Amino acid sequence: MRKRFLWLALATAFSAMAHHGYSEYDRDAQVSLEGAVAHVMWGNPHVLLTLETQQGEYSVEWGAVFQLSRWGIDAAPFRQGDRVIITGSINRNPEKHIITLVRRVCRAADGRCWADPRYPEGK
Protein backbone atom coordinates (compact mmCIF):
# COMPACT_ATOMS: atom_id res chain seq x y z
CA MET A 1 0.00 0.00 0.00
CA ARG A 2 2.84 2.36 0.85
CA LYS A 3 4.45 1.85 -2.57
CA ARG A 4 1.15 2.53 -4.29
CA PHE A 5 0.73 5.78 -2.34
CA LEU A 6 4.30 6.82 -3.17
CA TRP A 7 3.71 6.06 -6.85
CA LEU A 8 0.47 8.07 -6.89
CA ALA A 9 2.19 10.97 -5.14
CA LEU A 10 5.02 10.94 -7.69
CA ALA A 11 2.62 10.71 -10.61
CA THR A 12 0.63 13.63 -9.24
CA ALA A 13 3.78 15.67 -8.72
CA PHE A 14 5.00 14.98 -12.24
CA SER A 15 1.58 15.85 -13.66
CA ALA A 16 1.60 19.15 -11.82
CA MET A 17 4.99 19.95 -13.33
CA ALA A 18 3.88 19.29 -16.91
CA HIS A 19 5.93 22.19 -18.25
CA HIS A 20 8.79 22.04 -15.82
CA GLY A 21 12.35 23.13 -16.39
CA TYR A 22 15.35 20.88 -16.33
CA SER A 23 17.79 22.98 -14.31
CA GLU A 24 17.80 20.30 -11.60
CA TYR A 25 19.36 17.87 -14.08
CA ASP A 26 22.84 17.77 -15.53
CA ARG A 27 22.27 17.40 -19.28
CA ASP A 28 25.99 16.90 -19.92
CA ALA A 29 26.45 14.04 -17.44
CA GLN A 30 24.46 11.12 -18.82
CA VAL A 31 24.04 8.10 -16.57
CA SER A 32 22.99 4.57 -17.45
CA LEU A 33 21.10 2.53 -14.90
CA GLU A 34 20.11 -1.10 -15.21
CA GLY A 35 17.23 -2.54 -13.31
CA ALA A 36 13.85 -4.22 -13.37
CA VAL A 37 10.75 -2.33 -14.43
CA ALA A 38 8.48 -2.21 -11.38
CA HIS A 39 5.73 -0.10 -12.95
CA VAL A 40 4.92 1.65 -16.22
CA MET A 41 2.37 4.46 -16.51
CA TRP A 42 1.73 5.07 -20.21
CA GLY A 43 0.06 8.47 -20.31
CA ASN A 44 0.48 12.20 -20.52
CA PRO A 45 2.20 14.46 -19.74
CA HIS A 46 5.05 11.89 -19.68
CA VAL A 47 5.44 8.15 -19.67
CA LEU A 48 6.62 7.28 -16.16
CA LEU A 49 8.51 4.19 -15.10
CA THR A 50 9.63 2.93 -11.75
CA LEU A 51 12.99 1.19 -12.04
CA GLU A 52 14.33 -1.06 -9.29
CA THR A 53 18.14 -0.97 -9.35
CA GLN A 54 20.93 -2.09 -7.04
CA GLN A 55 21.21 1.58 -6.00
CA GLY A 56 17.51 1.77 -5.07
CA GLU A 57 14.24 2.65 -6.74
CA TYR A 58 14.28 5.36 -9.42
CA SER A 59 11.47 7.31 -11.02
CA VAL A 60 12.08 7.68 -14.74
CA GLU A 61 10.34 10.36 -16.76
CA TRP A 62 10.43 9.35 -20.42
CA GLY A 63 8.99 11.47 -23.23
CA ALA A 64 5.37 12.44 -23.78
CA VAL A 65 3.13 9.86 -25.45
CA PHE A 66 2.81 11.92 -28.66
CA GLN A 67 6.58 12.40 -28.78
CA LEU A 68 7.33 8.70 -28.36
CA SER A 69 4.70 7.89 -30.99
CA ARG A 70 6.59 10.04 -33.50
CA TRP A 71 9.66 7.93 -32.74
CA GLY A 72 7.69 4.77 -33.51
CA ILE A 73 6.91 3.80 -29.91
CA ASP A 74 3.13 3.46 -29.67
CA ALA A 75 2.83 1.37 -26.52
CA ALA A 76 5.05 0.40 -23.63
CA PRO A 77 7.72 -1.84 -25.21
CA PHE A 78 8.36 -3.63 -21.93
CA ARG A 79 6.42 -5.02 -19.01
CA GLN A 80 6.75 -5.22 -15.29
CA GLY A 81 9.76 -7.36 -14.43
CA ASP A 82 11.65 -6.72 -17.67
CA ARG A 83 15.26 -5.71 -17.17
CA VAL A 84 16.16 -2.49 -18.95
CA ILE A 85 19.09 -0.13 -19.22
CA ILE A 86 18.05 3.52 -19.19
CA THR A 87 20.37 6.37 -20.19
CA GLY A 88 19.39 9.89 -19.24
CA SER A 89 20.04 12.82 -16.95
CA ILE A 90 19.90 12.27 -13.22
CA ASN A 91 18.71 14.84 -10.73
CA ARG A 92 21.59 16.89 -9.27
CA ASN A 93 20.34 15.85 -5.83
CA PRO A 94 21.14 12.12 -5.86
CA GLU A 95 18.73 11.48 -2.98
CA LYS A 96 15.78 12.25 -5.28
CA HIS A 97 16.41 9.19 -7.49
CA ILE A 98 14.84 10.76 -10.58
CA ILE A 99 16.02 10.39 -14.18
CA THR A 100 14.65 12.46 -17.05
CA LEU A 101 15.72 13.62 -20.50
CA VAL A 102 15.93 9.93 -21.38
CA ARG A 103 18.04 9.38 -24.46
CA ARG A 104 17.96 5.61 -24.69
CA VAL A 105 16.11 2.62 -23.24
CA CYS A 106 17.35 -0.91 -23.97
CA ARG A 107 15.65 -4.17 -23.02
CA ALA A 108 18.35 -6.46 -21.64
CA ALA A 109 16.69 -9.74 -22.70
CA ASP A 110 17.00 -9.16 -26.44
CA GLY A 111 19.11 -6.00 -26.73
CA ARG A 112 16.29 -4.05 -28.42
CA CYS A 113 16.71 -0.31 -27.90
CA TRP A 114 14.56 2.77 -28.28
CA ALA A 115 16.46 6.02 -28.65
CA ASP A 116 15.65 9.70 -28.84
CA PRO A 117 16.45 10.58 -32.48
CA ARG A 118 17.58 14.07 -31.46
CA TYR A 119 20.73 12.57 -29.94
CA PRO A 120 22.86 10.55 -32.34
CA GLU A 121 24.63 7.61 -30.76
CA GLY A 122 27.50 8.67 -28.56
CA LYS A 123 26.42 12.31 -28.18
Q: How confident is the model at residue 16 (pLDDT cuts 50, 70, 90)?
A: very low
Nearest Cα residue to 103 out of 85, 81, 91: 85
How much is the average pLDDT of 94-100? 88
| Residue ranges per structural domain of the chain | 2-17+25-115
| The CATH number, out of the four listed (1.10.10.10, 3.30.980.10, 2.40.50.140, 3.30.1360.30), of the domain defined by the range 2-17+25-115 | 2.40.50.140
Dihedral sign for Cα 67, 79, 60, 116, please: negative
CA 78, CA 94: separation in Å to the nearest integer?
26
Span 54-68, pLDDT tens digits: 999 999 999 899 989
Please give the model's pTM, rounded to 2 decimal places. Answer: 0.76
| 107: nearest Cα among 72, 81, 74 | 81
Longest dimension (CA), the chain: 41
More confident residue, 97 or 20: 97
Q: What are phi and psi of 46, to 5 degrees?
A: -140, 155
